[in-house]
Amino acid sequence: MKKSINKSVWRRSVVAVLTAALITAGLSSCGQDDPSSEESSGSSVSISDSQPSTDSSISEQPSQTPPESSSEPVEEQSSEAVGNNNTYKQYDYTASVPAGAAVDNSYFDDAVFIGDSRTQGFIIYNGLSNATTYMDKGLKVDTAFTKADIEVNGVKMSAMDALAQNKTFKRVYVMLGVNELGWAYSDIFIEKYGELVDKIKEIKPDAEIYIQSILPVSEKKSSSDKIYNMTKINEYNSLIKKMAEDKKVYYLNVAEAVADSSGYLPAEASTDGVHLNKEYCGKWLDYLKNHTAGNIGQ
């Protein structure tokens, strides 16, 4: 009987010891970090699932979608300046400047005229002493850079060098090409003309640049001259018009102001069939006064 009791007591003692050991082990494991459980918990939480953040570093992040206004095209202005006071308008450079309200002679106070003997006659006959002139007999698109026949303050220089010293002009009128009609290659002519326009734009980027067509010659002159004839003039004028379009400068079809119904310079307009008399230089001036960039869009 005594042995039986002892065995029972022994079994209870063993169970008690084992139970105590298990409890102690369980309590110890509850105090340790479980990296896997933390990673799992963190990955299940997103910004959208949480309360709105008050952290300024998050609220100031750039939007992934740009604002609607940023997709609007930016208007090019520097090459499309018309009128004064930095007014800009869309303009179709494939067309000649349209007719509109006439300006008076004071409009040319801050204008520069670059040209040959035809331009000389234009200035003299119209009495435009208020305009600045860089002109010379026989001037060409290439010699405008090299021929030092323009006098400025007692010093002779090329037309383009003279222009570079003038910082006050607002518009430039150019008529060249009649002296180049005898050139062997018209592509060289228009290339040099384009370089001249580029230089003017470099010197005064905001100036209004008017490129005038070559004026016609008389029918008698055209039919008897292998160089100064309307076939060549019309070819060159087409090139000039396209060049003005490419360079985004204003093309003035001045020829229409003085030509007859057949496109020739009337016989009564000139004694040599090339240079205009006073009456027709007046028609030329009237055309310029009625065809200004200020009329575009009106």
Domains of the chain, each with CATH number or no CATH = 105-295 (3.40.50.1110)
Nearest to 173 by CA among 142, 216, 218, 128: 128
Lookup result for tokens 């008690």: 16
Cβ contacts of 101 within 8 Å, gap of 6 or more: 290, 294, 295, 298
Identify the CA nearest to 80 among candidates 249, 296, 294, 290.
249
H/E element holding 55? none
The confidence band for 89, taking pLDDT boundaries of 50, 70 and 90, is low
pTM over 0.75: no
Q: How far apart are CA 69 and CA 120, in angstroms?
A: 52
Per-residue pLDDT, 296: 79
What's the rounded mean pLDDT across residues 262-279? 98
Angle between helices 230-247 and 186-203 (to 10 degrees): 40
Q: What is the pLDDT of residues 175-190, one digit of tens each?
A: 999 999 999 999 999 9
The pLDDT score that the predictor gives to residue 297 is: 67
* For the ranges 9-13, 33-37, 100-104, the one whose mean pLDDT is highest: 100-104
